[in-house]
Structure 1
Amino acid sequence: MTARIGVVTFPGSLDDRDAQRAVRLAGATPVPLWHGETALRGVDAVILPGGFSYGDYLRGGAIARFAPVMETLIDAAKGGLPVLGICNGFQILCESHLLPGVLTRNAHMRFRRRSQRLRVENSATAFTSHFDPGQEIVIPVKNGEGRYVADEHTLDELEGEGRVVFRYLDGNPSGALRDIAGVTNAAGNVVGLMPHPEHAVEALTGASLDGLGMFTSVIAHLGQTAAAGS
């Protein structure tokens, strides 16, 4: 049975259609979800896409965290539903306390857009199983509030538990602490990252195809979960 992956649209989302396309190219069925509704429509996983939800008022993700759809999604994520937050979606996951830390203004106070080399630090999450540990990939980055920040205890905990998922190589575009580009929760079903894998899924855009692995990974994860439960 084809996996159904929900993509939430908030006011100000920019990359929801791109995320839906990436899901389709990976072999799953994208299901649009609206921020103002609480129903998740029986999806098997959810993507919170990039953009500027609610205009990034207060700070990125701070208002979207209280959207009606998040009431349902937070509980579902705590129950094991795979959730991927990309850029603004990562900010929302942190504001929702599904992931630790916070995303702040880039240290150089400029919007940064470029192809970014990353190292996959954790290939055991729901969204990274199709990568090898230590694999280097290229994913576009585009943000003005992408600096990952947390207290030293939290950073040490993330490092010690292997919960840093991606790390910047060849320069840190935001000044993120410890070059962290993405993290996961303890269960490995919730992942957030600032770079945009949905923009690296087909040769048409001129980017690498490295982002596709995140979407095929969750499809494989869902298949394995279904097989284990049958």
Structure 2
Amino acid sequence: MKVGVVTFPGSLDDGDARRAVRIAGGEPVALWHGDHTLAGVDAVVLPGGFSYGDYLRCGAIARFAPVMEQVIEAAKGGLPVLGICNGFQILCESHLLPGALIRNDHRTFVCRDQVLRVENADTAWTRDYSAGQEITIPLKNGEGGFVAAPDTIRELEESGRVVARYVGVNPNGSMNEIAGITNERGNVVGLMPHPEHAVEDLCGPGTDGLGFFTSVLQTVLA
């Protein structure tokens, strides 16, 4: 199974994401921001970093990259897409997910191992977890505070579209401690913490992040 990982100018975690896909058992495919095709991949990861230098707003320029035309169209057709950190910001700027990610409420960059609670284990990217399961994966962001209109927050909560929530501490002021959300179909997921940095015991806090990548393999093969 082929999982495409998009590299934008300023991406930092694309190599880590490709490695996570490989460890999970998939075949990573490098996609470039200027590509006009997805090369027949079965899923796409938009990695973390500072695409286009975070000019204007985080993810605002990346949303207009040529490859995103293909990603947006394919996502609307059901292709699994995971946006991690800056990738989450790009998904919101692309209107594949609602809301926005703004400056951390304490106005400083945060880098730490973060406990999350998986709230929705029925998405393409979380099916290898259990609802209510607590996992620990790294978090690193300066603009990770998830915000949305009150009606949008209510709809996300009532429809079960909150994928993960911060536990113990809210590291960036996200509304309702939201760390990740999904679209109605469950194929598009945005997550602020970094599961690709927790896929083996040697590096990072453990392997709690691997389930995001094994989940999508199971989804496509189902």
**TM > 0.5 between the two?**
yes
Which whole-Å CA distance do the structure 2 matches of 1:159 and 1:97 have between them? 18
Which whole-Å CA distance do the structure 1 matches of 2:205 and 2:27 have between them? 23
Q: 1:228 corresponds to which residue?
A: none
Is residue 41 of structure 1 aligned with residue 39 of structure 2?
A: yes
Which whole-Å CA distance do the structure 1 matches of 2:147 and 2:109 have between them? 17
Report the residue type matching 1:67 in the other structure.
A
Unaligned runs of 5+ in 1: 225-230
Q: 2:9 corresponds to which residue?
A: 11
Shift of 1:206: 3.7
Report the residue type matching 2:113 in the other structure.
S
Shift of 1:67: 0.2
Shift of 1:207: 1.5
Is residue 30 of structure 1 aligned with residue 35 of structure 2?
A: no
Shift of 1:42: 0.1
Aligned counterparts, 1:1-230, within 5 A: 3-224=1-222
Which whole-Å CA distance do the structure 2 matches of 1:138 and 1:206 have between them? 10
Report the residue type matching 1:101 in the other structure.
G
Report the residue type matching 2:206 in the other structure.
S
Shift of 1:37: 1.1
Check 1:174–1:43 CA distance in 2 against 1; reply closer, same or farther (3 A cut): same
Which whole-Å CA distance do the structure 1 matches of 2:54 and 2:190 have between them? 18
- 1:157 aligned counterpart, secondary structure: helix
User: What CA deviation, in whole Å up to 9, does each residue of 1:131-170 have, x standing for no partner?
Assistant: 0000000010000000000000000000000000000001
Which whole-Å CA distance do the structure 2 matches of 1:137 and 1:5 have between them? 23
The runs of 4+ residues in structure 1 deviating greater than 2 Å are: none
Which whole-Å CA distance do the structure 2 matches of 1:38 and 1:128 have between them? 29
- 2:180 aligned counterpart, secondary structure: strand
TM-score, scaled to structure 2: 0.99
Q: 1:227 corresponds to which residue?
A: none
- 1:42 aligned counterpart, secondary structure: coil
Which whole-Å CA distance do the structure 1 matches of 2:14 and 2:205 have between them? 18
Report the residue type matching 1:165 in the other structure.
V
Unaligned runs of 5+ in 2: none
- 1:182 aligned counterpart, secondary structure: strand
TM-score, scaled to structure 1: 0.96
Superposed CA RMSD in Å reads 0.5
Which whole-Å CA distance do the structure 2 matches of 1:77 and 1:137 have between them? 27
- Say whether the 8 Å CA contact 2:197–2:204 is kept in structure 1: no
